[in-house]
Amino acid sequence: MAIVTDIMEFCPRCGRYLKDDEYQCPECGFVVRQMPHVDNTPPGFSDFYDEKGEPKSLRELIFEKWFFVALAITFVIAFAITFYWRFTILIFCIPLLLPWRRLSIAIGVLAGLAGGTVTALLVNTFILAA
């Protein structure tokens, strides 16, 4: 008899052992265990995986609506602060201290800070200096 190292589940009807990815007995069709559901996943897991449990593509992960919201808001704030008070170093350090759960918001904030700061510096340098 083989020694089973992992806890293996078996079908109570026919006695067949199931593999790790099997939830229903292939011989008799008896449902032995429930499939994992999105409700049982840890927080933040559903951000990176779709409803079927398959990983989202990087394009879907980054360029969702929150990316554009974060980009627009931080672009305006970074432009205003850099244009008037020029606290550029402070603005770039703030998002590094915040724990972001969504990748799209973090990248949107950083892109907005970079875009707003660069635009404000270009306006100060080329348009107002002329």
Domain residue spans of the chain: 61-127
Is residue 32 within 8 A of residue 18, CB to CB? The reply is yes
Rg value, the chain, Cα: 26
* Paired tokens of 36: 């994992």
Interacting residues of 15 by C-beta distance below 8 A, sequence separation 6+: none
d(C-alpha 18, C-alpha 82), whole Å: 62
pLDDT at 94: 64
Closest CA to 96 of 80, 113, 83: 113
pTM for the model = 0.41
Per-residue pLDDT of the chain (130 residues; tens, 9 = 90+): 455 555 667 777 787 777 777 778 878 877 777 655 555 655 555 667 777 777 777 777 777 777 787 788 888 877 777 676 655 566 666 666 666 666 777 777 778 888 888 888 788 777 776 5
